[in-house]
Amino acid sequence: MVVFPNCKINLGLHITGKRADGYHELETVFYPVQLKDVLEVVHATAGEQAHITFTSSGLPIPGDTANNLCTIAYQLLKKDFPGLPSIRMHLHKIIPMGAGLGGGSADGAFALKLLNEKFQLGLNTAQLIHYAALLGSDCPFFILNQPCYGTGRGEILTPVQLDLSDYRFVLIHPGIHVSTKWAFEQLTPAKAPRPITDILQQPIAEWKQELLNDFEFPILKAYPEIAAIKQALYSDGALYAGMSGSGSTVFGIYAVDQPVGIQHKTSHPCHIV
């Protein structure tokens, strides 16, 4: 069985408080974007000792495979469903990692959904969201995988009416690693000046002045190359441009019939979806 985990962008992102558990309170709107990985699960062959054999292709995935969210998703379910059979899982990685696009979170959440469906575990949406929250703060969004207003650590989700199907998204990843810890240290939590959901009711061309990502201020100052990509998207005619998450991917939103020329003007990976 094969599924196609997609990425997300953040439309606005405000850090509104610091929690006693060390996490931050935030406010954002998650929006699904159709740049996708490929995830396959098949039954293990007879005689294999491991409960799960995980392999990957495409973009290299650093670290121990035991720490991959897809593997952890299987182990979480195996603990509560001991009859879950041994499997082979293969991930073809296309979404860049550490890019603010939630690719790893999507893979873990889609693994939960795939295993639930393939092996008929009977988990409902609320139960899948519970497991996803154990994987990470962004993971619950990918269970719903529709535009959502996110609060708390990002795991408290309220679906919103927002249809951008008449637009194209241009995603540019400059290959710059931004330390999430450093990025949070640059911020002073504060209440958003205006609810993001109110701003999104305006025409996209009016988002530029009010739809803000708190991380952009320190990151664009520290990494002029990221700032230059955002400006280049506007110069190319993007209706709105911003950084997703804590970076470093920058996205532009274009009208569907609008020419996109920036892919010929940047040396960085550029995805148009």
AA letter at 173 = H
CB-based contacts of 178, cutoff 8 Å, min separation 6? 98, 219, 223, 246, 247, 248
The catalytic residue positions are 8, 138
Q: From residue 34, how far is each of 107, 146, 165 by CA, in Å?
A: 13, 12, 11
Asked if 111 and 77 count as a contact pair (C-beta separation under 8 A), the reply is no
Could you please report the per-residue DSSP string of 89-129? Answer: EEEEE-SPTTSSS-HHHHHHHHHHHHHHHHTT----HHHHH
Residues in the chain: 273
Asked if 233 and 272 count as a contact pair (C-beta separation under 8 A), the reply is no
Pairing of strands 167-172, 38-43: unpaired
Largest Cα span, the chain: 61
